[in-house]
Amino acid sequence: MKRIICKDYNEVSRLGAFMFAQQIWSKPDSVLGFATGGTPVGMYRYLVDMYKDGMVDFSAVTTFNLDEYYPMSKSHKQSYDYFMWDNLFSHINVKRENVFLPNGGAADAQKACDEYEHKLTLHGGVDLQLLGIGNNGHIAFNEPCDELHVKTHVIELTEDTIEANARFFDSRDDVPRKALTMGLGSIMKARRIVMLITGKAKTPVVKQMFSGMITPQIPASLLQLHPDVTVVLDTEAAGEL
Ligand code: PGA
């Protein structure tokens, strides 16, 4: 895994946006993998600015998001669908029909996961995948556990994740207990991966991820097996490296 240490959140966001812009410049009909959470917000702002300045064109791009709460309607303000339109898609020229997220409103969760995985395959997989990392080492909603799933699946969120995400909801009780998430196999199939990590809270998990050991208790440690991962960190997150 390549690492790039930047001064702060702003520089991490700018570099992340530049990597996505470069991907689109080299392949205008790229399949991009996007993520939610606090970390990518700055990167999305940079991408919107670059679009407004005429530097990048999303008209031929297809996007797949990593995950969605379950059950969750698209119109809910804390849905990842809402987040993506609010932070990025509404401000750029991506075509609505080229945007894909797991369907948190589906009656049959497993069927929604299977359909999502199928769509991903039909589109030839992801060219450049954005990832964050949870304080507990999760990527997407692949939580620490004894066995990891390969494909898109339904997952029970851990108490750590519910706690970490409660800040986005009115109360902790409002955080959904389940999610639909791409599996480790779906993520590892991406041709290139860029992971953005910022802030002191992530320092311990960053150290574990780069430890040289692979364990399902730190799902992000599996990325050590991927041939093209760039981890962009700020100095706080990189602290103990
Ligand atoms: P964060 O979440 O960007 O809000 O820290 C990252 C994650 O949980 O993957």
Confidence of residue 100 (pLDDT cuts 50, 70, 90): very high
- Which pair of structure tokens corresponds to residue 16? 């992340």
pTM to 2 decimals? Answer: 0.97
Provide the phi-psi class of 37: left if phi over 0, else alpha when psi is between -120 and 50, else beta: left
- C-alpha 39 to ligand 1 mean position (Å): 6
**Residue 229: which H helix or E strand, with range?**
strand 229-234
d(CA 144, CA 138): 6
Cβ burial, residue 11 (10 Å; 0-12/13-18/19+): middle
136 is catalytic: yes
Residue with tokens 């389940």: 178
Nearest atom (ligand 1) to Cα of 165? 4
Q: Which of 65, 98, 138, 142 is catalytic?
A: 138
Q: Residues 196-240: pLDDT tens digits?
A: 999 999 999 999 999 999 999 999 999 999 999 999 999 999 997
State the Cα–Cα distance between residues 74 and 202, nearest whole angstrom. 29
For 19-31, the pLDDT digits (tens) are 999 999 999 999 9
Residue 123 falls in the annotated catalytic set: no
Beta bridge partners of 70: 178
Q: Determine which residue's CA is closest to atom 2 belonging to ligand 1.
A: 37
126 and 64 Cβ atoms separated by less than 8 Å: yes
Cα(40) to ligand 1 centroid in Å equals 8
pLDDT (tens digit per residue) in 117-128: 999 999 999 999
The per-residue pLDDT for range 105-114, each reduced to its tens digit, is 999 999 999 9
